[in-house]
Chain A
Amino acid sequence: GDSVTQMEGPVTLSEEACLTINCTYTATGYPSLFWYVQYPGEGLQLLLKATKADDKGSNKGFEATYRKETTSFHLEKGSVQVSDSAVYFCALLSGGYQKVTFGTGTKLQVIP
């Protein structure tokens, strides 16, 4: 079945450091890929998405590129802020009924 593998956290970075959170997937066909963010005590928010190979999703300074050859969708940001501290979930959509498979989440902590 479909699956998403994310790098284990927590990830602790200093403010203005570069961020990469690795995500790889296994799916049949051509899935759409997403990153969601969950701030403490809240639900998940869609951060960015890519629907076909080589697409780049971007939002709020975050970027991720859909790499079909490596089945990856790594999340990157050039300079993180304290306000980026949250849990980040990689996810894919494949097949009918728009069911989404999520990774286990990576907690990011940014310290001043």
Chain B
Amino acid sequence: SQTIHQWPATLVQPVGSPLSLECTVEGTSNPNLYWYRQAAGRGLQLLFYSVGIGQISSEVPQNLSASRPQDRQFILSSKKLLLSDSGFYLCAWTLERDYGYTFGSGTRLTVV
């Protein structure tokens, strides 16, 4: 069966520090991968998506970046965190239209 792993579950980082969040999918090949952010009291904002290795599309310009070094691995990074980067980060995957997303359990990031 397909599973998605996301870590860490929680993270507290100082302003200006780097960030690396990792997401891996098991049990499927060539999934579409997505990073979403959920700010406190707000909906989900699509940050990045990827339809294949090395292919990254950015939805919102910001100080975050994403990479897909392997078929089932999706990484969200930042060189210098801002206070406004705090939020709940969710990774998701899907195979095809109408399949629906499968979400990871999320990473709660607090920038202090």
List residues of chain A with CB under 8 Å of any chain B CB.
32, 34, 36, 42-46, 49, 51, 89, 93, 97-105
B43 within 8 A of A: yes
Does B51 sit within 8 A of A, measured CB to CB?
A: yes
Q: Say yes or no: A42 contacts B32, CB within 8 Å.
A: no
Classify chain B's interface size: 20 to 34
Write out the residue numbers on chain B whose beta carbons fall within 8 Å of the beta carbon of A43: 6, 90, 103-106
Min distance, Cβ B51 to any Cβ of chain A, angstroms: 6
Q: In the bound complex, what is the Cα–Cα distance between A44 and B36 (angstroms)?
A: 11
B77 to chain A, nearest CB (A): 20
Please tell me which one of the listed residues A89, A98, A103 contacts residue B94 in the complex, with CB atoms under 8 A apart: A98
For residue B67, CB closer than 8 A to chain A, the reply is no
Chain A residues in 8 Å Cβ range of B42: 104
User: Can you list 30 pairs linking A and B with CB atoms under 8 Å apart?
Assistant: A32-B97, A36-B103, A42-B106, A43-B6, A43-B90, A43-B103, A43-B104, A43-B105, A44-B44, A44-B92, A44-B101, A45-B103, A46-B101, A46-B102, A51-B98, A89-B43, A97-B49, A97-B57, A98-B94, A98-B97, A98-B99, A98-B101, A99-B34, A100-B34, A101-B46, A102-B36, A104-B42, A104-B43, A105-B43, A105-B44
Q: B interface vs A, CB < 8 Å?
A: 6, 32, 34, 36, 42-44, 46, 49, 51, 57, 90, 92, 94, 96-106
User: Taking chain A's interface residues, is the majority helix, strand, or loop, or is none over half, making it mixed?
Assistant: strand
**Apart from A44-B44, A98-B97, A100-B34, 15 more pairs, CB < 8 Å:** A32-B97, A36-B103, A42-B105, A42-B106, A43-B90, A43-B105, A43-B106, A49-B100, A98-B94, A98-B96, A98-B99, A98-B101, A102-B43, A102-B44, A104-B43
